[in-house]
Amino acid sequence: MTLPILLVEDNPMDVDLTQRAFIRHNLANPLQVARDGQEALDFIENWEAGETMPVVILLDLKLPKISGLEVLRSIRAHSGSKTIPVVILTSSDEDHDIHEAYALGANSYIVKPVEFDKFIDVARQIELYWTVLNIPSPSRCE
């Protein structure tokens, strides 16, 4: 079973492009999408209730309702989700965002490239690093 990747992203175009970038790299993991901060918190609750947790969370910072950093804080506050790798994928390259994200326990911070080519590179990196090389999925551990 291939574990899902959770994408927390409010911009449908970005969601679509991300999905397409993954497809180009033949990334098999199903993509789950939370379209705002609240939806992301709902996912956490479901994980607590026993639903399958994602192999990696791709988290935008600027989200409607609840900000990405708040979501990150919540993920790290819950025992179930606190070990899930979180990659911040955002348009902001502001220092304070970067610092705060890492301080709250982000594993990586990637500034969304505007060019689609670079976006595809990012998708490859994520695949390589977080889903294949680095983290053994909880299921594999079992």
Partner 1 sequence: MISPIKNRGTTCLSEMTREICELAPIENACTRVDGILEQSLNEIYLFDAQTLHFEYVNSRARLNLGYSMDTLRMMTPLDIKPEFDEASFRTLVNPLLHGAMKILIFEAMHLRADGTLYPVEVHLQLFAQSGRMVFLAVILDITIRRRAESALRESEERFRTIVNTIPQLAWIAEPDGSRVWYNQRWYDYTGTTPEEMEGWGWQKVHDIEMLPKVVERWTHATAAGKAFDMEFPLRGADGRFRIFLTRAEPLRNAEGRITQWFGTNTDVNEQRLGEKARREVEKRFEVVMGNMSEGLVIFDLAGQPLHWNAAALRMHDIGNSEVMLLNPHTFAQIYQLSTVEGVALPFDQWPLTRILRGEHLNDLELRIGRVDRDWERVFSYSGALSHYGDGKELAFLVVKDITERKNAEDALRDAKVNLEHKVDERTAQLLAKGKEMESFCYSVSHDLRAPLRGIDGYSRLLLEEYHDRFDEEGQNFLKNVRTATKYMTDLIEDLLAYSRLERQGISRTAVELSSFISNLLDQYHTRAQNVRLTVEVSDFQVSVDPEGLAIALRNLIDNALKFSGYAPEPAIEIRARAASNHCILSVRDNGIGFDMRFYEKIFEVFQRLHRAEEYPGTGIGLAMVQKAMERIGGRVWAESQPGAGATFYLQLPLLNASQAIPHERVNNAIG
- CB under 8 A: which stretch of 7-15, 37-45, 81-89, 102-110 binds partner 1? 7-15
**Binders of partner 1: how many residues, by CB under 8 A?**
18
What is the side-by-side strand order in the sheet with 86-90?
A: 31-34, 5-8, 56-59, 86-90, 108-111
* Cα–Cα distance for residue pair 137/134, rounded to 1 Å: 9
Residue 35 or 78: the one with the smaller Cβ distance to partner 1 is 35
Nearer to partner 1, 24 or 82 (CB): 24
**Rule CB under 8 A: is residue 117 a binding residue for partner 1?**
yes
For residue 76, the minimal CB distance to partner 1 (Å) is 23
Who contacts 22 (Cβ-Cβ below 8 Å, separation ≥6)? 5, 29, 31, 123, 127
Q: In the set 47, 109, 119, 130, which binds partner 1 (CB under 8 A)?
A: 119
Residue 65: phi and psi, rounded to 5, are 70, -70
Q: How far apart are CA 27 and CA 15, in angstroms?
A: 15
- What are the residues whose beta carbons fall under 8 Å from the beta carbon of 20, sequence distance 6 or more? none
Which is nearer to partner 1, 30 or 113 (by Cβ)?
A: 113
What distance lies between CA 90 and its chain's CA centroid?
Answer: 10
- Interface map 77-116 toward partner 1 (x if CB under 8 A): -------------xxxxx-----------------xxxxx
- Applying CB under 8 A, the residues found at the interface with partner 1 are 11, 13-14, 17, 20, 62, 90-94, 112-117, 119
